[in-house]
């Protein structure tokens, strides 16, 4: 009997994170730090925010990448459990003041930056691993994988391949890759995004069921086997500071298959080589660049795919911000994926409706963000929340709703009073209902989306037609302005 399973909750592994590191980027934050959206206060004062710049801001700082080994042991599982740490975890230091910089530092997952587990065919999980060692789940291989990226903003994304089902959807930040009970994993892909991807390279290698040890893959490349009858019985990860010369891994034979698997560039032109030797039609990634291939050739220009209308550059790369190309005046449809903290703005394709993804934003939603269709009735340039904090560029979600789309949070009606952790952890920490954005993204909605714009709030493990955006820089806890705010001279082009 075939059985499938998918789990994508961002905080699924929170219980087995390293002790003393509860403020990892993808664990659920302490809700006591984020007041409820209205709490029956007066209708002119609205609540959203961190409850002040004290303990909450201090707790959300990331850990140092440069000290000590931290080993995880115990009987934790990916569905919950416990973990202990070796001595030395308390020496980890904050690195936010230099923007999370880790260049030149080897981080082989032994500092709790990456933590992973594998689901065996008997539906038990391997122990959580945070060091640079090979995990052997057993001769039956594994069905699913789960990886956490800890202590810096950004995402770790990963997917698995089995001949009987092809590639799974991408899982992210502790989610479980889709699986079938009789389809052990034959190959994997792992990539990083945001601050993680800017600061680190991820390397990984697999051991096959016949004992073959493959060479390494890097930043999204395929590693494993395809159409050989073999499966992956061992997996090892290693993470290094970006482009470090010491990370001199052998990349010569990452796939045991009839042909290389993945995007190949021939005279600068992307073509797809399927490891099975067959023609390929579908989505593919070259690190963070996304392509769509039709019988191994990259799509260019406009294409209808999976119910959407996409635009691709002449070199085949998917365009995820159409504004420089179209500068559409609207009308717009806003869709907010509450589960993935991702907002997509759509424009119309004539009588086909709102099927053209126009822009996408990272956001933070909360438990009280209401699902369904809403129409925006009001806007506010600045607004006081009941926590005596302020936000910029607010748009009310729906008539009579105490929920707004708004910027990150400020102490006063002054753009130089930002609470920096509300910027650094967009998409990770929760509001209690309002939808929080960078100042630039909140301003775009405020400026471009007329009152009466439909906003659809829904839940899905797939971010949307585009990948979920991620913060590309981290600001120090002493910075009191949003680096995206277009009104500030600090953010003007030099």
pTM over 0.85: no
pLDDT at residue 388 in the model = 87
pLDDT at residue 37 in the model = 19
Q: Is the pLDDT of residue 428 over 80?
A: yes
Q: How confident is the model at residue 246 (pLDDT cuts 50, 70, 90)?
A: low
Average confidence (pLDDT) over 242-267: 89
pLDDT digits (tens, 9 = 90+) for 456-472: 999 999 999 999 999 99
Higher pLDDT, 104 or 68: 104
Average confidence (pLDDT) over 394-403: 96
Q: Is the pLDDT of residue 300 over 70?
A: yes
Q: Give the 3-state secondary structure of the chain.
A: CCCEEEECCCCCCHHHCCCCCCCCCCCCCCHHHCCCCCCCCCCCCCCCCCCCCCHHHHHCCCECCCCCCCCEECCCECCECCCEECCCHHHCCECHHHCCCCCCCEECCCCCCEEEEEECCCCCECCCECCCCCECCCCCCCCEEEEEECCCCCEEEEEEEECCCEECCCEECCCEEEEECCCCCCEEEEEEEHHHHHHEEEEEEEEECCCCECCCEECCCCEEECCCCCCEEEEEEEEEECCCCCCCCCCCCCEECCCCCEEEEECCEEEEECCCCCCCCEEEEECCEEEEEECCEECCEEEEECCEEEEECCCCCECCCCHHHHCCCCCCEEEEECCCCEEEEEECCHHHCCCEEEEEEECECECCCCCEEEECCCEEEEEECCCCCEEEEEEECCCCCCCEEECCEECCCCCCCECHHHHHCCCCCCECCCEECCHHHHHHHHHHCCCCCEEEEECCCCCCCCCCCCCCCCCCCCCCCCCCCCCCHHHCCC
Percent of the chain with pLDDT over 90: 67
pLDDT at residue 76 in the model = 30
The mean predicted confidence, pLDDT, of the chain is: 79
pLDDT digits (tens, 9 = 90+) for 39-87: 222 233 444 433 322 222 222 222 232 222 222 222 233 332 222 222 2
pLDDT at residue 399 in the model = 96
Average confidence (pLDDT) over 199-216: 95
pLDDT digits (tens, 9 = 90+) for 323-333: 999 999 999 99
pLDDT digits (tens, 9 = 90+) for 17-31: 222 222 222 222 222
Higher pLDDT, 388 or 453: 453
Q: Give the range among 80-89, 235-244, 421-430, 484-493 with minimum mean pLDDT.
A: 80-89
Percent of the chain with pLDDT over 70: 77
């Amino acid at each position: 009997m075939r059985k499938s399973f998918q789990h994508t909750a961002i905080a699924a592994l929170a219980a087995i994170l390293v002790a003393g590191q509860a403020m990892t980027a993808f664990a659920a934050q302490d809700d006591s730090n984020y007041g409820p959206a209205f709490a029956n206060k007066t209708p002119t004062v609205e609540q959203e925010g961190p409850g002040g710049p004290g303990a909450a801001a201090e707790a959300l700082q990331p850990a140092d990448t440069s000290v000590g080994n931290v080993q995880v042991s115990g009987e934790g599982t990916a569905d919950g459990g416990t973990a202990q740490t070796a001595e030395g975890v308390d020496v980890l230091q904050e690195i936010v003041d230099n923007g999370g910089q880790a260049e030149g530092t080897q981080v082989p997952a032994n500092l709790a930056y990456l933590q992973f587990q594998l689901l065996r065919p008997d539906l038990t999980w391997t122990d959580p691993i945070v060091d640079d060692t090979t995990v052997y789940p057993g001769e039956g291989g594994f069905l699913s994988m789960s990886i956490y990226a800890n202590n810096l903003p950004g995402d770790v994304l990963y997917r698995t391949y089995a001949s009987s089902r092809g590639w799974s959807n991408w899982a992210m930040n502790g989610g479980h890759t889709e699986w079938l009970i009789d389809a052990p994993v034959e190959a994997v892909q792992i990539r990083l995004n945001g601050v993680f991807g800017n600061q680190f390279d991820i390397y990984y290698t697999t051991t096959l069921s016949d004992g073959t040890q493959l060479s390494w893959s890097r930043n999204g490349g395929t590693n494993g086997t395809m159409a050989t009858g073999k499966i992956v019985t061992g997996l090892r990860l290693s993470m290094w500071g970006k482009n470090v010369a010491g990370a001199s891994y052998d990349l010569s034979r990452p796939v045991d298959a009839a042909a290389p698997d993945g995007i190949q560039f021939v005279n600068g032109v992307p073509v797809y080589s399927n490891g099975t030797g067959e023609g390929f039609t579908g989505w593919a990634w070259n690190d963070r660049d996304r392509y769509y291939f039709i019988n191994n050739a990259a799509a260019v220009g406009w294409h209808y795919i999976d119910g959407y209308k996409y635009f691709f550059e002449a070199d085949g790369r998917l365009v995820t911000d159409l504004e420089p190309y179209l500068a559409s005046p609207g009308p717009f449809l806003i869709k907010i994926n509450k589960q993935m903290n991702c907002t997509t703005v759509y424009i119309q394709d004539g009588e086909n409706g709102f099927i053209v993804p126009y822009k996408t934003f990272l956001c933070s939603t909360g438990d009280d963000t209401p699902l369904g269709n809403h129409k925006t009735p009001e806007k506010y340039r600045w607004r006081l929340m009941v926590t005596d904090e302020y936000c910029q560029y607010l748009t009310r979600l729906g008539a009579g709703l105490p929920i707004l789309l708004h910027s990150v949070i400020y102490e006063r009606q002054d753009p130089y009073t930002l609470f920096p952790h509300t910027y650094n952890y967009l998409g990770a920490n929760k509001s209690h209902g309002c939808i929080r954005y960078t100042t630039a993204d909140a301003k775009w909605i405020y400026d471009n989306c007329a009152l009466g714009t439909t906003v659809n709030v829904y839940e899905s493990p797939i971010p949307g037609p585009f990948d979920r955006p991620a913060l590309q820089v981290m600001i120090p806890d002493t910075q009191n302005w949003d680096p995206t705010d277009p009104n500030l001279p600090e953010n003007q082009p030099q």
